[in-house]
Structure 1
Amino acid sequence: MPSLDDILENVGEFGRFQKQTFFILCLLSAAFTPVYVGVVFFGFIPEHRCVSPGVAELSQRCGWSLEEQLNHTVPEWGSHGAGFGSRCRRDAGGLNATGVRRYEVDWNATGVSCTDPLGSLGGNWSTVPLGSCQDGWVYDSPGTSLVTEFNLVCEDSWKLDLFQSSVNAGFLIGSINIGYIADRFGRKFCLLSTILANAVCGILLAFVPTYLWIVILRFLQGLVSKGCWTAGYILVTEVVGPTYRRMVGILYQMAFSVGLLVFDAVAYAIPQWRWLQLTVPLPSCFFLLYYWCLPESPRWLMSQGKNDKAMKIVSDIAKKNRKQMPSHLEDIKFEEEDSGKQSPSFLDLVRTPQMRKNTFILMYNWFTSSVLYQGLIMHMGLAAGNMYLDFLYSALVEFPAAFIIITTIDRVGRRYPWAAANLVAGAACLVTALVPEDIHWLKVIAACIGRMGITMAFEMVCFVNTELYPTYIRNLGVVVCSSLCDVGGVIVPFIVYRLVEVWQDLPLVVFTVLGLIAGGLVLLLPETKGRVLPETVEDVENFHGRSAAKAKKIYLHVQTSEVAHD
């Protein structure tokens, strides 16, 4: 009995129907960008300082420029420049104070000198006592962010970490639940319901007045948004033929990179975070029109025994692709595969040596890919350069990353390009950390190389994961391993935003260690290029043995037979 892939070879594997579906789902992939990396613009941390009563009046009387005012009235301004972390460190006396420090003097006192104000008040910068900020903050920024609206600095800076961690926690919980909905009620229903929920949460985020509600809605948005992106990925790969399946999967992820460029431009045009938050979910409202544009997955319909509906969609594919449905396929009936196969178990992932090694290495690489990818984006938002240009440069390098993957995986294989991508990402992070701040252009180049490397690693772990597990446990293996991606997303804001208070580039050192270890571990995995997908645990265990060569011979024999048959 022919499979759906056999039918698609006759009615078109990637014809006009599939191209239309692919294009509209790529729009959905691009719209996921603000949810995943929006913290860069929603939560950017501008230069800030403590409000000191009387300073403005004194500055006006003395005719100081802004820089003169800051040098005279802000502790250590000239010594730490733009580094915001030092605003919140302990003073020289070792007091356990975490707020921004200010001079404990009365700037409204009479007789304050304009040339040496601290000296005229009976001291100097090293002897005047420092106190915590009690009168608010001043932010040097033309726009607004979560940080400026809710004062998420110093003792409250952890709340920005929580803002990003909450959406990743939603990813972690939602991916499993949304996956169940997609398998139980269909890809199209799952897609439309999550689009609606994501749009509602995104719009409400722009209006809620309190930080608590922002975190709650951010979590709810995470619950549905990644599942929405995943449902689109599943649908687009299920309606194309096997020849194009990997290519459309990679290009679907590349559409996310296009979304990065668009989001950067929109954020530049709209520097107020609430207006930006209101703008980015609006396309999701138009995505509800997909009800009339998108088909249900014929594979899912077949798995549910809805053969008539599945064949109706196949007929639509043939008509749209201007192909003629072969007469012997028009009345075909699909039967579900024998359900007496082995049931998947979590223990099967670690029961045998090779399965256990694959599982732990894949889990670590999912974790590392998430930490480095999100971490580099967050760290870039804290750099001293132009945030929008740096974001643009680092987004552009994702396109050559996808091109390198497409051109190497079927020629060189998976393992060596994947390992090299991790090693390059780790090494580039170290170079970025060691380059002095005054050579900003070189730091940007090194960071972009790191971003390209981790983008390659992230995209490769997605499909290599499916090639290392037997059929009956493949879906469970991907769900379990990829869950570490969201665990990494929960942790990475605390790694970045806490460690920069110790040293601006300390997070990059952590990323270096993680990336280099990931690259080394990948080399311990078997090469899957040119191999048939494993069907049993025994196939996985024998990947490195003599049976691996046998599997390759079987694969080549089948390919040769197909060519001869054609």
Structure 2
Amino acid sequence: MKLDDVLTHIGGYGRFQILIFVLIGLINLRSSGYLLGIVFIGYKPDHHCTLPTNATLNESVPLELDNEGNWQLSQCKMYAVSGSNKTITCTDGWDYATEKGEKTIVTEWDLVCGQDWLVDMSTTIHMAGIMCGSLFITPLSDRVGRKHVLLACLWIQTALAFGLAFTTSYLQFVILRFFIGALNRGIAVISYVMMTEVFPPSHRTLPGIVQQVFWAAGLMGLAFIAWLVKDWRHLSLVISLPTVLMVSYYWLLPESIRWLIAKGKIKEAEAILQKAARINKASLPDNCLSSEEMDMMMNQNIKRADNPSTQEMLQEEETVEEAQHVTRLTYDKAENIAGEMNIENSSVTPSNECSAENNDQNDEHCKTKHGFFELLDMFKICCIPKMAFYTITVCYLWMVNSLAYYGLTLGSGTLHGDRYINFFLSGAVELPAYFIGSFLLQRFGRRKPICMFQMLCGLSNIMLVFIPKETDSGVNLLPLIITISLLGKFGITASFSSIYLYSAEIFPTVFRNSAFGFAAFWDTVGGMAAPFVIYSSKAMLELPRTVFGGLTIVSGLLTLILPETHNRPVPETVEDLEKWNTQLISKKKPRV
């Protein structure tokens, strides 16, 4: 019996699958704190130079215009001599306007004035760690096992996160942040794969969407925890505490069944399936899996590939679900989506030579294909004009979506109003974005909804450039500003979750892994650039909004030039892609 048939037999949404789904969801929930906790850990409160003994503010600190044109106390200068007009940089440190008990890395290490860029640099270094985690940690899970690598990453990350709370310098802080980011990426990808693997293909759409609720809940919970815990060291400890409870995952979380089968450990896989059947109150024969039976099923699937209705059903059911999960955290996950598309569509595309399972079985050809020859594939793509154009355009989409998503999320704490409420709302608005985005992709195709979402984000940001905080008559426009900002966040969240699916569908099988992985690489580039785009507001207040708005509008328009992929078989060759136009294909086909 084929594994997917076994999973369907014991119950597509059985108790076993729900248990794994919740366990993985809790991992996803905690990951947002590691990535975006810097919004509160690195918060910069108002400040001014520490006053000399027996001096007053008016005597010691000059007034200056801020970037909004308002007079305020200088944050980086003081009078050289009381009563004179000559100013100097702060000589005795700074005084910060903090709440009771509030401490951040800014107030502790004086990361202000000439060193204020270091906070944004810490986020960029964290993103660099994410990139490295994609390259070194996720491939390890294919060799050692999903569960063992996942648990090792969780426990090591917990130790590093605890260590973060006891760092005594900025250098120690960013080094630990780098490794926490690398581990966070490995955790995100491996856990996602383990979650999808326990569901049969026809039951993966809903879990893929609902799994995002945990990420959004993590953002909202982070805002609440940061509101309660003002000290950044204590906040770091609280963020890492949930992972301590995940020691129980050693007993609760089973090894990946597909990985065990790929490694030839059929008996171990059958033991897990028997346990799953008992939990789901179903029954299975003792030898529900065997290599002979699986070979027979695979041969039957190859024969079924000649049936056009089977092709359409598999492409519609299996391709869509694997790309719904947005983990903000993305280059490696993207490669997994592309790889899983190749695996799961193998019954439709038997010419595809390399699958993840073949890799796990140490197929030398596949190892070579996923190594040096993938680099050669990129050169081949550049020699094909249409493929080169599609690849460059998709790379731009990934970079801009990542730049805008992380930029708007990290910048939510700098919006006017309460930073905790703004960050909470920024997470809450993601909930409808996932579901509405998924519905529109199925109803209207890929290109038009993605274009609409990006245009919504772009126009919202451009509008905010021209809206003042209040009218000339004194009417407060802050609620309007926050609402429009949330509309922009809604748009980029829906778009970001959609480009996974669209990118995986547009590339032909012969280049999919190479092109998809290369395009997804630019996601991390956008994430690394986002903190410094926000930092540019110090020179020009509305520059970040202008950058986010302008780039996403261009990205939305470029989407319309790309071909529509909805209701089309995944292209096998470049020739298949050349035949496409940009129109939506009707799902109903005439019977012959």
Which residue of 374, 390, 399 corresponds with 1:367? 399
Q: Does 1:138 align with 2:95?
A: yes
Change (3 A) 1:474 1:86: farther
Instruction: Please say if residues 80 and 86 of structure 1, whose CA atoms lie closer than 8 Å, have aligned partners that are also in contact.
Output: yes
Q: How far off is 1:308 after superposition?
A: 2.4
User: Which ranges in structure 2 are unaligned for 5 or more consecutive residues?
Assistant: 299-345, 355-365, 471-476
Q: Does 1:431 align with 2:431?
A: no
Change (3 A) 1:185 1:353: farther
Change (3 A) 1:20 1:471: farther
Which residue of 222, 229, 244 corresponds with 2:188? 229
User: Residues 425-504 of structure 1 correspond to what in structure 2 (within 5 A)?
Assistant: 425-438=457-470, 439-471=477-509, 473-497=511-535, 499-504=536-541
Q: Does 1:258 align with 2:217?
A: yes
Change (3 A) 1:80 1:297: same
Q: Does 1:290 align with 2:277?
A: no
Q: How far off is 1:58 after superposition?
A: 4.5
Q: Does 1:346 align with 2:375?
A: yes
Give the whole-Å Cα distance in 1 for the aligned partners of 2:71 and 2:127: 25
User: What percentage of aligned pairs have identical amino acids?
Assistant: 32
| Map of 2:80 onto structure 1 | 104
Instruction: Please say if residues 144 and 271 of structure 1, whose CA atoms lie closer than 8 Å, have aligned partners that are also in contact.
Output: yes
Instruction: Please say if residues 47 and 84 of structure 1, whose CA atoms lie closer than 8 Å, have aligned partners that are also in contact.
Output: no
| Map of 1:15 onto structure 2 | 14
| Map of 2:143 onto structure 1 | 184
Which residue of 76, 95, 104 corresponds with 2:63? 76
Q: How far off is 1:397 after superposition?
A: 0.6
Instruction: Please say if residues 33 and 260 of structure 1, whose CA atoms lie closer than 8 Å, have aligned partners that are also in contact.
Output: yes
Secondary structure, counterpart of 1:138 in structure 2: strand
Q: Name the TM-score, length of structure 2 as normaliser.
A: 0.80
Q: How far off is 1:220 after superposition?
A: 0.7
Secondary structure, counterpart of 1:410 in structure 2: helix
The one-letter code sitting in structure 1 at the alignment partner of 2:460 is A
Give the whole-Å Cα distance in 1 for the aligned partners of 2:70 and 2:164: 27
Give the whole-Å Cα distance in 2 for the aligned partners of 1:243 and 1:503: 50
Q: Name the TM-score, length of structure 1 as normaliser.
A: 0.84
Give the whole-Å Cα distance in 2 for the aligned partners of 1:479 and 1:239: 24
Instruction: Please say if residues 209 and 435 of structure 2, whose CA atoms lie closer than 8 Å, have aligned partners that are also in contact.
Output: no
Question: Please, which moves more after superposition, 475-484 or 369-378?
Answer: 475-484
| Map of 2:229 onto structure 1 | 270
Instruction: Please say if residues 86 and 501 of structure 1, whose CA atoms lie closer than 8 Å, have aligned partners that are also in contact.
Output: no
Change (3 A) 1:308 1:467: farther
Give the whole-Å Cα distance in 2 for the aligned partners of 1:545 and 1:500: 39
Secondary structure, counterpart of 1:102 in structure 2: strand
Q: How far off is 1:370 after superposition?
A: 1.5
C-alpha offsets along residues 160-210 of structure 1, whole Å, 9 cap, x if unaligned? 121111110000111121220122222212211111121111110000111
Instruction: Please say if residues 28 and 215 of structure 2, whose CA atoms lie closer than 8 Å, have aligned partners that are also in contact.
Output: yes
Give the whole-Å Cα distance in 2 for the aligned partners of 1:186 and 1:254: 27
Q: Does 1:383 align with 2:383?
A: no
Which residue of 385, 395, 410 corresponds with 2:427? 395
Q: How far off is 1:463 after superposition?
A: 2.6
Give the whole-Å Cα distance in 1 for the aligned partners of 2:466 and 2:67: 19
The one-letter code sitting in structure 2 at the alignment partner of 1:480 is F
User: Which ranges in structure 1 are unaligned for 5 or more consecutive residues?
Assistant: 60-68, 89-98, 107-120, 562-566
Instruction: Please say if residues 77 and 90 of structure 2, whose CA atoms lie closer than 8 Å, have aligned partners that are also in contact.
Output: yes
Change (3 A) 1:245 1:86: farther
| Map of 2:337 onto structure 1 | none
User: Residues 19-58 of structure 1 correspond to what in structure 2 (within 5 A)?
Assistant: 19-54=18-53, 57-58=54-55
C-alpha offsets along residues 67-110 of structure 1, whole Å, 9 cap, x if unaligned? xx46x653225x4499899877xxxxxxxxxx81222223xxxx
C-alpha offsets along residues 362-408 of structure 1, whole Å, 9 cap, x if unaligned? 22122112211111122222233210011112111111101202322
Give the whole-Å Cα distance in 1 for the aligned partners of 2:404 and 2:71: 21
C-alpha offsets along residues 43-64 of structure 1, whole Å, 9 cap, x if unaligned? 011011112314xx354xxxxx
| Map of 2:125 onto structure 1 | 166
Change (3 A) 1:185 1:479: farther
